Structure 1
Amino acid sequence: MQIPFLSQLQTLTGPPVNKIVGVAPAGPVRLAAEQILQHVLRGLPELLAAAVGQIASGQLLASYTTSRDFNPAKIIGFNAEVIRQQRQSMQALQLPPDEQLTELLITLRTQLHLLRLLPDGQRFLYVAVDCRDTNLGIAREVMRTCET
């Protein structure tokens, strides 16, 4: 039995765990974001969190997490800002136009956080993994192969 009030009450305790959640309005953008996350989960079943966001607005399109303490909705805007700042840094360096930002890696003591721009240049994929469980090369390859 589905009780709408209980579903809303659950969202107050944090993000749903072990479930892909589409946040964007229903349509092709949301569907594409959810498909990207499904692909990532097939390749990295032990990941901590994953999300697809828009760079310009910092809006979350879809997310997945294994812990209520790890809330991609709270950090996706900050990650979008990191990408925007890195793009500005590259412009300041006056790099050739064929040099494009494709990926950022943030290395913590026990976690790896990867940001990969999707081919449209408007969205990005964020993945957080425990570096004791996941090889960086495998994580990067899974992210590279899910670009749609």
Structure 2
Amino acid sequence: MQIPFFQRFAGPTVNKIVGAGNGPEKAAAERIIQHALAGLPELLGAAVVQLVSGQTLATYTSSREFNLSKVLGHNTEVVRQQQKALAALQLGSEEQLEEILITLNTQLHLLRLLPDGQRFLYVAVDCRDTNLAIAREVMRTCE
């Protein structure tokens, strides 16, 4: 039996795409994560986040220990700060941020701006389960 009050203490939902909000934006975010999961079934976690507000539109995690809510706000700020740094370089309008890669000993964390420039896709994978080229290609096709 699932009691909503106790679900707060159980941690994130695992192996299920969880949407936030409502309407077409939520449905689109869920489809993006479904596509990422189809290409990378060994995903540790994935999320679609609005860049301006930092609001999470949809998430997926394969482990309770991999708590996306703790990291997504920081990742939103990483994208914003990198955009500011690139603007300071004055490279011109043809140069736009596409992707940020964070490499750890056993994990790859990728942040890819979606074509509208208003949202980004976050994906975390284990280096032993996939490689960077596969992860990047799957993310590119999620758009």
Normalising by the smaller structure, the TM-score range is: over 0.9
State the shift of 1:55 in Å.
0.7
1:1-148 matches, within 5 Å, as 6-23=3-20, 25-147=21-143
Name structure 1 gaps, 5 residues minimum.
none
Name structure 2 gaps, 5 residues minimum.
none
Compute the TM-score of the two structures, normalised by the length of structure 1.
0.93
Structure 2 residue matching 1:88: 3-state secondary structure: helix
State the shift of 1:71 in Å.
1.3
Structure 2 residue matching 1:89: 3-state secondary structure: helix
Structure 1 CA distance, aligned partners of 2:16 and 2:114? 22
Which runs of at least 4 in structure 1 moved beyond 4 Å after TM superposition? none
User: Aligned pair count?
Assistant: 143
Compute the TM-score of the two structures, normalised by the length of structure 2.
0.96
| Backbone CA RMSD of aligned residues | 1.1
**Contact 1:53–1:59 (Cα < 8 Å) also in 2:** yes
Percent identity over paired residues:
67
**Contact 1:58–1:78 (Cα < 8 Å) also in 2:** no
State the shift of 1:12 in Å.
2.0
